[in-house]
Chain A
């Protein structure tokens, strides 16, 4: 079974530039998550989708970050404009179904390492 795919794996940009990350979840997974992992910290949830709807985006800095999952499959996360403190690994994860009545394991992708200079 193919895992969660992410691209690019690495990205270096200058501050105030924009950047986009792409995620393709495991086939059939309705729930998709974007996490930010700053060096020395654990992953922090930015946004959570169920199909194409947002379930939780309470920790997404909405003045500069946006995310979409238009067809309920793959997703993009965008930062515009980027700041130095956005340097981090951006992880995508997916799980079967948020509302299935039982916990479904989250499967993580390899992440995109962003460096903002």
Chain B
């Protein structure tokens, strides 16, 4: 069955620290991967996506993610976090008919 694992449920960082959030997927078809973000009090929104080509994908607000097929991973990174990055981050994989399967999410708290 398709699944997405996010092993870090809560992450606390200081401003300017580097961020890496883990995401591993289990899916046998063509892999399309996503990171969504939900800022406090706001809607879920797309941060970045991977469909094909360059496995290093750049998204909004300085985020990037690297697709490593051999490790079934799609980790999210940011070199230097800001207080405004405090949010919940969800990794997702697209399965049939544009259906998304989400991970359990990682709550990031950035202290100023």
Interface residues of A (CB under 8 A from B): 3-4, 31, 40-45, 48, 55-56, 91, 93, 95, 98, 103-111
Question: Which residues of B93-108 have CB atoms within 8 Å of chain A's CB atoms?
Answer: 94, 96-105
Asked if B45 CB lies within 8 Å of chain A CBs, one says yes
Q: Find the residue from B43, B51, B104 having the highest chain A CB count within 10 A.
A: B43
**Residues of chain A within 8 A of B46, CB atoms compared:** 105-106
Say whether B104 contacts A110, CB under 8 Å: no
Q: Contact partner of A42 among B4, B96, B98, CB < 8 A?
A: B4
**Residues of chain B within 8 A of A4, CB atoms compared:** 43
Dominant secondary structure of chain A at its interface with chain B:
loop
CA of A82 to CA of B80 in the docked complex: distance in angstroms? 45
**Residues of chain A within 8 A of B96, CB atoms compared:** 56
Asked if B90 CB lies within 8 Å of chain A CBs, one says yes
CA of A56 to CA of B43 in the docked complex: distance in angstroms? 23
Say whether B4 contacts A31, CB under 8 Å: no
**Residues of chain A within 8 A of B32, CB atoms compared:** 103
Tell me the nearest residue of chain B to A111, going by C-beta.
Answer: B43
CA of A41 to CA of B105 in the docked complex: distance in angstroms? 7
Say whether B98 contacts A43, CB under 8 Å: no
Say whether A43 contacts B90, CB under 8 Å: yes
Q: 4 extra interchain contacts, Cβ-Cβ under 8 A, other than A42-B4, A103-B32? A: A41-B104, A43-B44, A48-B98, A105-B46
CA of A108 to CA of B9 in the docked complex: distance in angstroms? 22
CA of A107 to CA of B103 in the docked complex: distance in angstroms? 18
Asked if B92 CB lies within 8 Å of chain A CBs, one says yes
Say whether B44 contacts A31, CB under 8 Å: no
Using A103-B51, A108-B45 as known contacts, say yes or no to A45 and B100 having CB atoms under 8 A apart: yes
**Residues of chain B within 8 A of A41, CB atoms compared:** 104-105
Question: Which residues of B61-100 have CB atoms within 8 Å of chain A's CB atoms?
Answer: 90, 92, 94, 96-100
